[in-house]
Amino acid sequence: MQKMLNICAEFGHKWDICFNVKKSQTLTLGGSNPVNCHLFLGNKPTEWTSKVKYLGIHILAGDIQKVDFTDAKKTIMDA
C-alpha cells in the first residue's frame, strides 16, 4: 500500500496536484487495522480510521464489509 501512496504522491507532484493528508484516511476491509503500521502520503502520516464517508454513506472497517446508511436516510427524509 505504501508503494501505491508513493505513486500517487509522485503523480501529484508531477501534475501539480496537492493531496490533503488531513482529509485522507486509511482503513482496512476484511480485517482489523494493522498494529504499528504507518503509511505516509508525501512524507506525512495518514490517519487510520474505523469508517470513511463516501458518496453519503459510511464504509465501516472490520472482518465483514459493512456500510452505514443512517446519514443518507436522514438526508432523504429531511428533503
Report yes or no: 35 and 68 within 8 Å, Cβ to Cβ: no
How, if at all, do strands 66-68 and 57-60 pair? antiparallel
Give the whole-angstrom CA distance, residue 43 versus residue 21: 10
1-27 pLDDT per residue, tens: 999 999 999 999 999 999 999 988 888
Give the whole-angstrom CA distance, residue 46 versus residue 39: 6
Tell me if residue 44 falls in helix, strand or coil.
strand
Flag whether pLDDT at 76 surpasses 70. no
Strand partners, 53: 58
